Amino acid sequence: MKNIQLVKMILAMAAILAVPKLAFSQLLLDNFSTGSYEKSLKAGSDTNVQSGSMVGGNRLTSFLLCPPGPCGVDNEFAQSASFQIRPATKIAPAALVFSAGYKASPRLDVEYGSPTALSLNLASAYDRLRVNFDGADQIMNFNILVYSNGNSLYSQTGCNLSPPFYGAPYSVDFPFADFTPGQGTPGADFSDITLIDFIDQTEGALGAADWAITSFEAIPIGAPPGNVTCLGLGT
């Protein structure tokens, strides 16, 4: 009898300890394990749609380097910029990897909800988006736009991000409270998001930024913060 009671107590304790973990369960939007793709440019643009296990089943990438080209003084040494979405290997996680050559300053948009709209309720249980970096070697201008109401309403946030740990993994949180509504509008309805656009642009005259992102997530209310918090436009 005592053994049975002891087992019951252990199971009850395990259940209690498991509750906080369940309460802080993040929503994975994309971990780049599917939808492999890569592109290199010296000028121009590239748009591609990849399918897989990411939120909505599709990921649209739009890659720009002084479109429509040629670059001229905007890329005076005609250096390449590239990105790659690659699955995990024995030595590296799945990731979105970005590299910009000397004085090349490309822009990369990664969209979810195009061409097929999302119907994503983030308001009920989540309070921020998180970008998990494997590492970065330069300051980057990183922005997020979210759309609702058939993409007619939007809100945006963004920061110039300095990597807090050179060459090491870190996470950046983008709280919903710090998104700025589109001009003259009430902003996006986070209870029915139709499209999310993650935007990276190199910051500074020399370009030459390199980084890798391992996942995009929505983080639940009350969960611990990431390594860095972006407080919105202009911060």
pLDDT tier, 7 (very low <50, low <70, confident <90, very high otherwise)? very low
Per-residue model confidence (pLDDT) at position 108: 97
Predicted model pTM: 0.87
Asked if 120 and 30 count as a contact pair (C-beta separation under 8 A), the reply is: no
Per-residue model confidence (pLDDT) at position 16: 36
- State yes or no: cis peptide before 70, omega within 30 of 0: yes
Sole residue written with tokens 């990276």: 200
Q: What is the pLDDT of residues 80-113, one digit of tens each?
A: 999 999 999 999 999 999 999 998 889 999 999 9
Amino acid identity of 201? Answer: Q
Sketch out the chain's domains with CATH numbers. 26-229 (2.60.120)
CA-to-CA distance for 13 and 2, rounded, in angstroms? 17
Q: Which two tokens stand for residue 40?
A: 């290199």
CA-to-CA distance for 201 and 216, rounded, in angstroms? 17
User: 64 phi and psi, to 5 degrees?
Assistant: -130, 135
Higher pLDDT, 2 or 75: 75
Mean per-residue pLDDT, 33-62: 97
Q: What percent of the chain has pLDDT above 70?
A: 87
